[in-house]
Structure 1
Amino acid sequence: MTDPRPRTVLALTGTDRVAFLQGLVTNDVARADGGIVYAALLTPQGKFVADFFVTGQPDRLLIDVATSHAASLLQRLTLYRLRADVQIVATDLTVSRGTGPAPDGALPDPRDPAMGWRHIGPTDLSDDTDWDALRTAHLVPETGIDLTPDTYILEAGFARLHGVDFRKGCFVGQEIVARMKHKTTLRKGLVRVKLDGAAQTGEAILSGEREAGTLHTVAGAHGIAYLRFDRGTDLRTTGGAALSVDARDLTAD
């Protein structure tokens, strides 16, 4: 099955590849040796640039990233390279994913066991999983829909999704992320919502007459919204659909 949101695989080679990426991204790249980690690149102001999976192989690192963000990620990584012994190229490898029996070489999705497996290879081995329904049920955000240039990753659940390591050392935007982790209480974030009525991605959400957030993913009668936690009742979209929120989501990770 062709993935409706295609992925691109970047390859990093060179003797400095691990140290180079380790100093930039939110997770511990060393743990990708023979495995897979979920991570993001942020702006110095702590805002989202791209999320991706890093897989370590004996002579290279592979980055599995949304095709929509691949060119900009490649450009940013190239700018950071300076004199490091790192070569970064886009490959023609294919990303497959599924929730059924895993093919040889597949690795478990590190965000949530329910998200199945991921595989990088020459051909597409994906199954027919309804990914929007599955990730909505488990509050897993999607690049370009729930994760935007305005996103702070802790508000998007990256701690719960194993996408940030607070012990690994420096990364771009770390100061902002650490401050949000240790010195503030999150007042906004992604939540699961149930919809009563037709609604569309991008609609504003009101609590009574007050602005409360924005609807992002829509998957049938369910969705993911960015919401103020103190305005989690009496919700409707500007298009008139009523919303209800699982109370367990109205809190910080």
Structure 2
Amino acid sequence: MVSFSILQDRGLLTVGGADRSSFLQGLISNDINSVTPDCAIWSALLTPQGKYLYDFFITEFEGRYLLDCEAARLMDLGRRLSKYKLRASVDLGKEEGMVVLAVYGAGVGEYFGLTENPGEVAAFRDGIAFVDPRLADMGVRTFLGKKSAKAALESIDLEEVSAESYDTFRLGLGIPDGSRDMIVDKSILLESNFEELNGVDWEKGCYMGQELTARTKYRGLLKKRMVPVDIEGREPSLGAAIFCDKRQVGEMRSTRAGLGIALMRLEYLERAITGEIKLVAEGSIITPRKPEWANF
């Protein structure tokens, strides 16, 4: 079954103006030149020290960029970007007339004339649809007019389900969700699997926070990874410590329906996956899984 969820916790920031591409290129972790009317990307904005601040999807629509980001932090992101405008010809705004929806299920791309290529974009009704740039298995995201979005998707025989259902689906695939899983001013991209999920470009040149990101990769400094986990017992609180005996080996992030995301020390990960060691967080048993897309 192919279903859709209205993502009320997402918003759209607009970036227009003659210098919009060069402006974003010097700030974000991915290559803005990859964004065309036919291709979307996932990217992040970091601190100068290379720590996570925001992540977002970027599409091109009607001569401007649309940044799909956390609604609760949208205005904060806008203010942050404004600080870097200087004399650049860039217009920042909020798209009030569109809503973000997630569509997922087997064969979802066929409903929009899309393949399974991450980031592929197609026009759809009064907006656009694109394959999730992180992972094709995550389905399709759409930006549609608020008044017509639900009817547009129901007209092609898609069924609406709750945003919570989509969140459970996300957790099953081990995909991080913004500041619920990545700690602002602390998390780093490679621990959060941005390389595997197509969120960083190694060829684009300088951007804010690039030095730490590159050093972590090329010097082999990565000691932790974000992974999906199964939870036996009550779901631990956000940030709960994960223990192996008395040693802390990880930390919980978002959870739902017996599933979760955790930041785990790599030296314990394989033994925990095979059941050689037992992990516990707030009295619940935590069993990590290595997702199919992982190469660590």
For normalisation by structure 1, the TM-score amounts to 0.92
Letter of the 1:179 counterpart: R
Indicate how the Cα distance of structure 1 residues 247 and 160 shifts in structure 2: closer, same or farther if over 3 A, else same: closer
**Which residue of 85, 95, 104 maps to 1:81?**
85
* Cα deviation digits, residues 91-131 of structure 1 (max 9, x gap): 20211221155452311111111111111121244742622
Query: Which residue in the other structure is 1:137 paired with?
Result: 172
Query: Which residue in the other structure is 1:224 paired with?
Result: 261
Query: Which residue in the other structure is 2:145 paired with?
Result: 122
* Cα deviation digits, residues 63-88 of structure 1 (max 9, x gap): 11111221111011100000001010
Q: Give 3-state SS (helix, strand or coil) of 2:231's partner.
A: strand
CA distance in 2, matches of 1:218, 1:97: 19
CA distance in 1, matches of 2:252, 2:8: 19
Query: Which residue in the other structure is 2:29 paired with?
Result: 26
Query: Which residue in the other structure is 1:10 paired with?
Result: 13
Q: Which runs of 5+ in 2 are unaligned?
A: 113-123, 154-159, 270-276
Letter of the 1:33 counterpart: T
1:41-52 pair list within 5 angstroms: 41-52=45-56
Letter of the 2:131 counterpart: P
Letter of the 1:99 counterpart: Y
1:99 aligns with 2:99: no
1:63 aligns with 2:76: no
CA distance in 2, matches of 1:25, 1:47: 12
CA distance in 2, matches of 1:132, 1:196: 19
Post-superposition offset of 1:3: 4.0
CA distance in 1, matches of 2:42, 2:291: 24
User: Is the contact between residue 13 and residue 95 of structure 2 (CA under 8 Å) also seen in structure 1?
Assistant: yes
1:236 aligns with 2:272: no
Q: Give 3-state SS (helix, strand or coil) of 1:81's partner.
A: coil
Q: Give 3-state SS (helix, strand or coil) of 1:106's partner.
A: strand
Query: Which residue in the other structure is 1:178 paired with?
Result: 214
Q: Give 3-state SS (helix, strand or coil) of 1:144's partner.
A: helix
* Identity of matched residues, %: 31
User: Is the contact between residue 194 and residue 221 of structure 1 (CA under 8 Å) also seen in structure 2?
Assistant: yes
Letter of the 1:112 counterpart: L
CA distance in 2, matches of 1:185, 1:76: 29
Indicate how the Cα distance of structure 1 residues 235 and 5 shifts in structure 2: closer, same or farther if over 3 A, else same: farther
User: Is the contact between residue 95 and residue 118 of structure 1 (CA under 8 Å) also seen in structure 2?
Assistant: yes
Post-superposition offset of 1:136: 1.5
1:215 aligns with 2:252: yes
User: Is the contact between residue 228 and residue 291 of structure 2 (CA under 8 Å) also seen in structure 1?
Assistant: no
For normalisation by structure 2, the TM-score amounts to 0.79
User: Is the contact between residue 216 and residue 225 of structure 1 (CA under 8 Å) also seen in structure 2?
Assistant: yes
Indicate how the Cα distance of structure 1 residues 4 and 20 shifts in structure 2: closer, same or farther if over 3 A, else same: closer
CA distance in 2, matches of 1:5, 1:208: 41
Post-superposition offset of 1:158: 0.4
User: Is the contact between residue 189 and residue 252 of structure 1 (CA under 8 Å) also seen in structure 2?
Assistant: no
Letter of the 1:246 counterpart: R
1:194 aligns with 2:230: yes
CA distance in 2, matches of 1:247, 1:112: 15
Q: Give 3-state SS (helix, strand or coil) of 1:167's partner.
A: coil
